[in-house]
Each structure stands twice: as structure tokens, then as C-alpha cells.
Structure 1
Amino acid sequence: MSHQRVEPLDVEAIRAEYPILDQSVDGTPLVYLDSAATAQTPDPVVDAMSDYYRETNANVHRGIHHLSQQASAAYEEAHDRVAEFVGASGGRKELVFTKNTTESENLIAHAWGLRELGPGDEVVLTQMEHHASLVTWQQVAMRTGADVKYIEVTEDGRLDMDHARECITDDTAMLSAVHVSNTLGTVNPVNELVDLAHEHDALTFIDGAQAVPTRPVDVEAIDADFYAFSGHKMAGPTGIGCLYGKEALLAELDPYLYGGGMIRKVTYDDSTWGEVPWKFEPGTPPIAEAVGLHAAVDYLEEIGMERVQAHEEHLAEAAYDALSDIDGLTIYGPEPGPDRAGLVSFTLENVHAHDLASICNDHAVAIRAGDHCTQPLHDTLGVAATARASFYVYNTVDEIEPLVEAIEDAQSLFA
């Protein structure tokens, strides 16, 4: 295990900030193990958003009155704060607010890909890509005549880096890779992937939806050209995501959504665009959500991302060990260690993942079941669906026991 010297979290104090966890399902205490889908939102974030609506609510960049100025300042400061959190020294000029990671992928695929890709160009993905990346680049490649290649996954759930070196060539225009797999829990060597791509003058897009919430991330150290993540997986609100992009690259791009708030000059014949990030944020933006995300970043930084990572890895290792003792259960992805994040996907012999999740729900244990928006990866694994338990700052080792009991109950029911 890495991070053994990091001070452990005071989980009891943390849980007190999540009243949603203090409830029962049919008389049984709730165990929430689905944070990779959506993490719960602590009181400081909810309070920040409530205060905004009670005291500041107004549209941004559209009024000179007091409330609009306050709202605009809060919205702009949120860009700078979140940029700082992921190591983007350019502040708001390198941090665009979107709805989610999926929209961030679409923004670049459409604004850059439709303009720059053509026959003979290649987009390199990995076999473990979320549909947000895979489907988006697949469809843009189909429109432009570009080809898509996939870096293979090894039997132990890691990227085959020898194959990566074969896939990434001088024909590669874009490498889009997931930082942490939402299915396998694999932590990919994104620095090495980015370096490989840059050696061939390709651009890079890293999907950090599962990474930014769970570990320290420095986009400039990774040297990614674009990096995306979502608020609702990092103790923030739904409805807001982030796209980091190197300032010079974002400045060159035309927007792919149009409307009010993103323009500099409009005539009946033509329009010109505002500065980054505003030219990518048309219409009324997610103002309250930005305030909430600002609060979430402050909240996570106060805990310490090294401690968040260590806690998650500790829980994942404990779950991996406990589930490994169950006959007929198969765990996917690397063994516990620096290459695995805080989630565990698995199948149980003779029990469909959806049935398993339903029985877990009967035990008040919330897990995810399905293809986790990675259908091609599941095809590669040879399974239709997996069950997934994922952990966050408010989970305890004691919560693994109800999960194991629920799985054993399912096993006996379907024996």
C-alpha cells in the first residue's frame, strides 16, 4: 500500500456532514457504496449554494446592479479556485465550466475534431474508455473520415503500454485516455501516455472524472492539453463539469455552442466571440453550481487529497481481500496497490449483476450494476455486466461486512 504515513481521516466527523447517510432502508442502516457514480454532498457545499440563492442570486455578466456584480464575482472566482485545485496556473483562462465530463469531451471533439480531423488522421483511445470518450470520438471520426484505434487492456486490467507505443504514431492527431477506469479501478500512466502522444505531435485529452475526486491531480505536471472532470463525483453538485485546456489551445478554438453571453460583437451578418472561458459558456451558466463546486474544492483541500487517496485505497484493499474469499466471485482490474483506485467491480457465478444489486438493496447496501457506460470493455472481459462497489471519504471498513453478507445471501438464493 502507498500513502501509509498519511494521517487517517476522522470518518465519524466527516459523516456528520452528510445527513443523507444517517438513514435506514426498511429498518436497516444505509450503506452507500456508489460514489463512483455520484458522491454525496456535504453540508458546507449545500450551505454555500443555499446562501447564494438566499443572498446573491442574479445573472452574471449581464447587469451593473449590486447582486449581478456579486454573482459575477463569485462565478469568476470559482473558475480560478477550481483551476488552482488541479494545478492550472492560467486560472479562468484555462478552466471552462460545462455540464459534466461528457460535455467537456463533446466540446473538444466538436470544436477541435470536426475542424482538424480528416482521412488519414487517427484518434487513439483505450479499451477501457467511458462512453463519454469512446462514443464521442467514434462519432466525430465517422463524420470526418478519421480512424479510431484502441490501446488494449491486459488480462490483469492494465493498459498494454507496448501496444500503446504501436498505436500512437505520426498519424495520431488526438489521444483520449481515461485517468482512472470507472470499471476496473485502474490508475493509468497518463504522464507516459501524454509524453508518447507529444513525441508524435498529437494532442491529448484526459478523462479525469474518477481521478480528480480521489487523488491529487496536477494537470501541468501531466502536461495534458485537455483534462476534464465532474463536480458531482467530488462532493460537489450535479450539473457542472470542468474542462481544463492549455490557454493557447482554447484561444484558437471556435465555440461549438452559441448564444448570449459568449459573444463580443453581433451583427445581422456575422458574430465574433468573447474571451476564454466565456466564449465556451453560452446562456445562463450554472452559477449556483459553480459556487457549490468552489465550496467542494475548499472542503476537499481542507481534508487533504493525499488523505482522501490513502483512505480510498485502504477501503478498496479491504473490500478486495474480503470479496476474494467468496467462492465463485471474480474481481476485475489490478490487485490492490498504486495502480488501483477505490472501487471494486465483480461478478458472482450464477447471479446476474442486476439481481445481485437488487439483493444488496434489500440489505440497504447501495452498489452499481450494469456495464458502467463501458460496454465494449465488458465485451472484451466476456461479461454482460458487473457489480461495482465504490468508496469515498465517508465510508468505513465496517461497511464492507454488510456488502459481503448481501453477496453471500444472493449466492445462497441462486444456489
Structure 2
Amino acid sequence: MDYKVRDLSLAHEGGLKIEWAERHMPVLMLLRRKYRDEKPFRNLRIGAVLHVTKETAVLIKAFKDAGADEVLLAGSNPLSTQDDVAASLVEYGIRVYAWRGQTPEEYYWCLRKIAESQPDIVLDDGADLHALLHSEYPGLAERIVGGTEETTTGVNRLIAMEKEGVLKYPVVAVNNAYTKHMFDNRYGTGQSTFDGILRATNILVAGKVVVVAGYGWVGKGIALRARGLGARRVIVTEVDPIRALEAVHDGFEVMKMIEAAPIGDVFITATGNKAVIRGEHFQLMKDGALLANAGHFNVEVWIQDLEKLSVRKRLIRSNVEEYELRDGRRIYLLAEGRLVNLAAAEGHPSEVMDMSFANQFIAAKYLVENKHLLKPAVLNPPLEVDKMVARLKLESMGISIDELTPEQEEYLKSWKAGT
């Protein structure tokens, strides 16, 4: 079997991590057991570009158990792969092309291995695989049954492709499921971002001034956790007036980045855009400022400007680069500006990825079942699926909720009842 990982001898350790994740992902494990006999993915090849973590492994194994002829996996970030997990998946019969610390050239070599396998279903995190298939393999793209997309950044790219009329297959925007973005993006990223920052630096958050760029679901989660960890001030920067107003009403300070730059101790970007923190901001920052990114690509902290302003840099500890500016101030960049929660830690907790990956599995099954009915477009997951995932999650937590009586259902459907 063709594959490329760092070290197969790590497989045992990776298997233990996967086992731990399986114990904390009851919804996905339920789906895995349910479809082990039905084999809905029989005679299909699945190509995935996802963060190679223990949680992703549970999803990939579910596809294999559900009958997929072949499952291929590449990492969606050069620094997010857990090498022991990758090795364990190879032993399970998965073609893995992923190792931590890839160069950009190696990263795209791995993606091309996925594309050239001619997958029927593609799963992506950031839309690099979707973009590669359309730009370099248009013939292959035309025969693909469909795909899924896990991130806000990736969904935005796919919507742009649809608007330009170049999208060649239907893609379910898994990120748009409520049981994904309201929990994964907010609670998952909120916690795991600080997990990464603390593992890299071991700083005390209490008493610090934390600046959060962006107040989407990810930014909300980060700001919430910063306050919970005792940050003295939590400042939000935004370009959207509605989100800025929401941040104000949630009790956070809101100002421009140029105003926050000389105040902040820790800066965390979560916008999905480029050059959010750039030269004009670096020039105002205090000595010792920390920069971290929680967005998908390493473009939010504009490293080119930081390089130009610096007289020297050095790796002062794992995942912490020190940039010394001309006036002697030092600014610290975490995890090369890449996703700090995955590059410096383990990513989201298994409990929250349970819902996200249950949606991935169900979305792929939906594409297979409706392959002759769906046209190339970006599709939102059905609300019924969202509610099913939420209900299963509640049940796994031992929580039950009320149900509408027939009279209540009828009342909500009727327009006749008044005051």
C-alpha cells in the first residue's frame, strides 16, 4: 500500500490516542456501529484533506468500516499532523500522506496524491483540495460525486467558485451546521487556542490585556475563554459593525487595531483575512507582545512586515519565535503564525469534534444517496440532520428534553389562533 508518514514505529502510541478519542466521541461511534453492516460507501474511494489528529482518525476509520473501498488522508496544515496517529491509520489500512513539519512543496505533493487517486467523495478543511482539483485536475473534478467543507475559510472560497461558475460538483458546507460552528468554532477553538498558547509559552493569562481580532464564532469563543482565564481586559477589533456592536453588548471593549496595538499583551487573530496585524501595528506594540493566529491560513499576522522591521530572530522555545526590532523591542510569534491550537497543541477536544465529524459522515452519506439529483453548488446541511446530531449528543450526556404535544404542534402550524 502506498503511503508516506514520518515513522511507522509510532503506531502503537497513536492507537492509544485514537482509543481515547473514541471513548469521547459517542455520536460518531454510534454512526460507525450503525453503518458497519449496511456499508453505504461500498465501491467508493474517499479522499480527505483534514488535520491528522486522533479525532480525525475516528472519522476516517468510520468511513473504512462503512464499506469504502479505499480511504486516503492528507494533512490540511503543515504543522498540525500528529505523526503517531498517522502511523496508526496506516496500520488500519488507510493511505496516509502526512507528517508534521512539511514544506509547502511537500504539502501540495500530498494533496496531489489524493487528487490523483481519483476519489469519488472529497472531504476538505480549508478548500485547498477543492481548489487544486478545479485548477489542476478539471477532468477529475467533473467525475467527483461531491464533497464537504469543514471551515468558514473554505466555505467562503467555495462560494466564490460557485459565483464564478467554476464549481464542478456539489459541496456540503458542513461548517454551516449549527452543531458544527456554534460548538466547534466557539467552544472548541476558544479552549484549544489557549491550550496552544499556554503549551507554547506557559504565560499567566490572568492580568493580561488580550486583543482578539474578529468576532465571528471563533472570535467569540476566544474572547469568552480569555475573560474566563482572568484577562484584565479583553479588546475586540472588527470591520463588521453588527459584530462589533454584539461584542460591545457582550461586555468587551471594541476599538481599531491601531488603537489596541500599544495596549495588548497577547494578540489573537480569528478573521480569515490577510494582513490583519501588520507593520503599522508592530511598530506600536510593547516589548514582549505575543502574536497568535487561530484562522485557517498563516496570513493574518503579516510576517513579511515583521521580518522587514526586525534586525534578528531566533527560536527561543518550541513554537515561539522571537523577533527583535531595531529599537530593541521583542515581539514573539507563536507557531509560525499558523493555527496555534493545532500547531502548538492537539486541536479541539474530542467531545466537540464528535458533532463536527458526525456531520461530515452524514453529509458524505447524503451526497452518495442523492448523487443523481444534486447539481454543482454549495449546500447547507439539512436542519433535521443538525437536530438529530444534537439529540444524539444530549442522549450521550444523559440529558433528555421535552417534546411538543400534538396540540402544541398544531398551534405552531396554525395562523388562526389569536389573542
Tell me the TM-score normalized by structure 1. Answer: 0.31
Please state which structure has a larger fraction of its residues in helix.
2
Higher RCO (CA < 8 A, seq sep 6+): 1
Tell me the TM-score normalized by structure 2. Answer: 0.31
